[in-house]
Structure 1
Amino acid sequence: AGKERGAAAAGDGSDGEKRDVYMAQDAKGNAVEREKAQEPKGWREIYDLVLELRKERDAPVDWAGSESLGTNRETGEVDAYHTLIALMLSSQTKDQVVAEAVQNLQNSPGGLTPQSVLAMSDEELKGHIAKVGFQNNKTRFLKQAAQIILDQHEGTVPRTAKELTALPGIGPKMAYIILKVAYNVVDGIGVDTHMHRIFNVLGWVTSKSPEQTRVQLESWLPREEWDVVNVLFVGFGQMTQQPVHRARLMRRSIDSSQPEAALRLV
């Protein structure tokens, strides 16, 4: 495994002092050893307050995000490939638009499989995802990813961040969300622009990119929170930025256990 910030393999510094380290992954999914950071003051109170404000789970991500789109509502089973496609379509696109595109693909004659994606013409595939951002690039990425999955992974979505980030159009954020949703594997935190913005405003990180935010957040956030923090704060960010949801969030803040603190957050 690689080492970062001077952490030695056994957790000892060069001066013999014990270092508090943890295992993580870099942007390409390689194992690295990192040194833990001190928790930001008061983070738990804010975190718990956001949990309270989000207890209804009624933000767009909750009903139109990748986790719901890849899950069969009748059986509860998760389709890893549908989850992958939802995430590949999600960049620069609202969840509601992604949901429509995924449903178009699921309802196409061949359904939504790597084989059916390859069988479609570029124009047909583009027609199904016409409303998403960067549909030309995403059409190409969907085709390339389907071919790689069939050729190199026996038709199954990869189960490691390293293999997932090798697919076109897949970065660390998407890889960690796919692993969590499809395989219940939590190797890292999926950080999007909502989370990047919110955590910098809160002072929990001082970063210039979502990937830097992920690294800093993982250095102190308890690991048991890694699998829930994405949907929790993505939804919170959506509700603060979209007027129809913001009004509901304001009312919820007033009725919360800490109205003043909640209103400052929103």
Structure 2
Amino acid sequence: MPRESKKAKCERALTVCERMNERYPQAECALHFTDPFTLVIAVLLSAQTTDKAVNSVTPTLFEKWPTPAAMAAASPVEVGDVIHRLGFFRTKAQHVVETAQKIMAEFGGEVPRTMEELTSLPGVGRKTANIVLNNAFGIVEGIAVDTHVYRIATRLKLTNASSPAAAEKDILAVIPREMWGPVNHQWVLFGREICDAKKPLCAECPLNDICPSAFKAHGNPVQKKKARRLS
């Protein structure tokens, strides 16, 4: 198979985004939050844990400590008792308290609005910062590449990066900036419904005609359907 040109890859990526917009026109963040602070904490807690699990503990968490000032005065042990059902809860509890303390000490009690400042918070990486900037402030500086986005981008051959963090640069290079905003939420839904990690539904996939992995693993599903109709 000949090497795909940059132009062709960009055109294919654009088609992916257009089809995702048609399928998920109202995709939203699955985490429950009420303001920038609760969003920062919810996303911080979501690492290597499902959104459903996070949403099950945050009502109690935010009832006890609803603001940066309140959370900054909590102890990691207290927070850990509330979020103990989550993976790595002790580390996350420490980060939650330290993040609130830093917001109080260095940002006047307000969640910062820049990538550099957000990623200075304990436990907050670029993925978390992208989600907070996008959903809390309407600022789009990149795409939050989680496991779903990384898996889909890899299968679509939009990146060969060895990690989600490294893949973002490749994805941003082929998707128009004006389409970055909804990518994470749309691709997360798509990953859950169709492009599953273990059992992707390639025959039902609306991208199977432009996905190299679907051709490789299952043949061309579109051509197979045509062949069945002609037989």
TM-score with structure 1 setting the length: 0.69
Q: Which amino acid in 2 is paired with 1:238? A: R
Q: Which amino acid in 1 is paired with 2:59? A: Q
User: Corresponding residue for 2:14?
Assistant: 44
| Residues 117, 143 of structure 1: 8 Å contact kept | yes
Q: Which amino acid in 2 is paired with 1:239? A: E
Deviation at 1:112, TM superposition (A): 1.5
- What pairs up with 1:29-40 in 2 under 5 angstroms? 38=7, 40=9
**Out of 102, 111, 135, which is 1:181 matched to?**
135
Deviation at 1:222, TM superposition (A): 0.5
- Distance in 2, matches of 1:149 and 1:39, equals 44
User: Corresponding residue for 2:58?
Assistant: 102
Query: Which is helix-richer, 1 or 2?
Result: 2
1:88 aligns with 2:58: no
User: Corresponding residue for 1:53?
Assistant: 23
Q: Which amino acid in 2 is paired with 1:218? A: L
- Distance in 1, matches of 2:140 and 2:17, equals 19
The superposition leaves residues 158-185 of structure 1 with CA deviations (integer Å, 9 ceiling, x where unpaired) of 1101011111111111111111111111
Deviation at 1:188, TM superposition (A): 1.5
Deviation at 1:47, TM superposition (A): 3.0
User: Corresponding residue for 2:226?
Assistant: none
The range that moved more, 120-129 or 157-166, is 120-129
| Residues 39, 221 of structure 1: 8 Å contact kept | no
1:168 aligns with 2:131: no
* Structure 1: segments with no counterpart, 5+ residues: 1-36, 72-78
**Out of 17, 33, 43, which is 1:70 matched to?**
33
RMSD between aligned residues: 3.0
| Residues 41, 96 of structure 2: 8 Å contact kept | yes
Pairs aligned (count): 207
- CA spacing shift, 1:38–1:168, aligned 2, 3 Å: farther
**Out of 92, 97, 112, which is 1:158 matched to?**
112
- CA spacing shift, 1:52–1:122, aligned 2, 3 Å: same
- Distance in 1, matches of 2:181 and 2:208, equals 28
1:130 aligns with 2:84: yes
Deviation at 1:193, TM superposition (A): 1.4
The superposition leaves residues 94-120 of structure 1 with CA deviations (integer Å, 9 ceiling, x where unpaired) of 000011121121222xx4111222333
User: Corresponding residue for 1:198?
Assistant: 152
Q: What secondary structure sits across from 2:174 in the alignment?
A: coil
* Structure 2: segments with no counterpart, 5+ residues: 1-5, 216-220, 222-231
What percent identity do the matched residue pairs reach? 30
Q: Which amino acid in 2 is paired with 1:164? A: L
User: Corresponding residue for 2:66?
Assistant: 112
1:234 aligns with 2:216: no
- Distance in 1, matches of 2:125 and 2:146, equals 11
Deviation at 1:124, TM superposition (A): 2.1
Q: Which amino acid in 1 is paired with 2:154? A: N
The superposition leaves residues 130-169 of structure 1 with CA deviations (integer Å, 9 ceiling, x where unpaired) of 1111000001101111111000000000110101111111
**Out of 218, 235, 246, which is 2:172 matched to?**
218
The range that moved more, 178-187 or 47-56, is 47-56
Q: What secondary structure sits across from 1:42 in the alignment?
A: helix
- CA spacing shift, 1:102–1:156, aligned 2, 3 Å: same
- Distance in 2, matches of 1:230 and 1:155, equals 28
- Distance in 2, matches of 1:259 and 1:214, equals 20
